[in-house]
Amino acid sequence: MSALPSAVGRTLTQTGEDGSQSAGQSVAEEAFLPTCEEVPCAPNILRPEGEIKLEARSLNMYYGSFQALRNVSMAIPERRITALIGPSGCGKSSFLRCFNRMNDMIDGFRLEGDVLLEGNDIYRRDLDLAYLRKRVGMVFQAPNPFPMSIYDNIAYGPRLHGRPDRSELDQIVEQSLRQAALWDEVKDKLRQSALGLSGGQQQRLCIARVLAVQPEVLLMDEPASALDPTATFHIEELMLQLMEHYTIVIVTHNMYQASRVSQYTGFFLMGELVEFGHTEQIFETPRDKRTDDYIRGRFG
């Protein structure tokens, strides 16, 4: 483990770089992690201003003897889109899955450090996992609608978490499908199997299915990688609309996608969070040489 630079050192670095770059203007207005004595973190990790929805502190994650994450600390702002980029196997998906504890069922999974949702540890013993996952929803890489009707897919979550009556359920289904920009396409065939929809429609259905349980956070694991450009465009438009009400974290292979939709971007490499900051700063004036190389397509 390399020696951590002091808070003073980091502040100096920041000032030096921002002084010469116009794009970094907004960065200068925000402070870097102020409590680095308490929470050790790597340099070039921005602590966003405003409400912090999710936070990871000094995460070390292992699958058996393989270390998937190395001392990752990141604060994710509320009602913003945060993109996680990096080459395959860099740990970005593993990191994403820490926030709804989807790694728990993997054999040999072990986690050190803290993961906080609004300041509360989500790995504590008495945590209600179902409640956590209701608050922190997830959209997967490949659309995974259940082999049941469109209506029942959307109603699945609400039925788990309560006993909504018919009219409530109808309302939730319509509202969720409208939010996911799918209502007009499926309103006449709600009773038909969800498997009859196209890939892009299925993915929006999966988004609607998550929205139906009224989560606060949306974790999206490469939600458009299995889709064609038109469907991808739909999903990205949708994310920008959803940002008003939801905190969104998206893992993506596609750097253009990250730059199009997100306000914050984190770059992962070999289990390490190399750099985290405003998306434009990361893409235009990366501080770390490795980020620069990756953005410019020198590897990955």
Partner 1 sequence: MRSTKPRRWGERLIEGAIKSTGIATIVFVLLIFVFLLKDSLPLFGHAKQTASLLGTRWLPTSEPEQFGLIPLLLGSLYVTLGAMVISVPLGVACAIFIAELAPQWLRELLKPLVELLAAVPSVVFGALGVLLLGPWFAKTLHLPVGQFAALGSLLLAFMAIPTIVSVSEDALHAVPRALRAGSLALGATHWQSITRVVLPTARSGLIAAGLLGLGRAIGETMTVLMVTGNAAVIPQGLKGFILPVRTMTATIAAEMGETAHNSTHYFALFFIGLLLFLITLVVNVVAEVVVHRMGREAK
Binding site for partner 1 (CB under 8 A): 100, 102, 105, 107, 129-134, 137-138, 140, 142, 144, 146-148, 156-157, 160-161, 206, 209-210, 213
**Smallest distance from partner 1 to CB 108, Å:** 12
CA-CA distance, 164 to 111, in Å (whole number)? Answer: 37
d(CA 286, CA 24): 10
Q: Which is nearer to partner 1, 103 or 291 (CB)?
A: 103
Which CB, 202 or 281, lies closer to partner 1?
Answer: 202
C-alpha to C-alpha distance for 22 and 195, rounded to whole angstroms = 49
Question: Which residue's CB is nearer to partner 1, number 7 or number 132?
Answer: 132
Cβ distance to partner 1 smaller for residue 69 or 206? 206
Three-state SS at 108: coil
Q: What is the 3-state secondary structure (H, E, C) of 41-102?
A: CCCCEECCCCCEEEEEEEEEEEECCEEEEEEEEEEEECCCEEEEECCCCCCHHHHHHHCCCC
Across the strands, what pairs with 88? Answer: none
Q: Least CB distance from residue 209 to partner 1, whole Å?
A: 7
Nearest distance, CB of residue 44 and partner 1, angstroms: 31
Q: Which is nearer to partner 1, 46 or 213 (CB)?
A: 213
**Residue 219 DSSP class:** E
Closest approach of partner 1 to the CB of residue 77, in Å = 22
Q: CA neighbours within 13 Å on the CB side: how many for 279?
A: 17
Closer residue to partner 1 (CB): 31 or 129 = 129
List C-alpha distances in Å: 9 to 6, 24, 36, 102, 276: 5, 18, 12, 37, 17
User: Least separation, in Å, of the C-beta of 260 and partner 1?
Assistant: 25
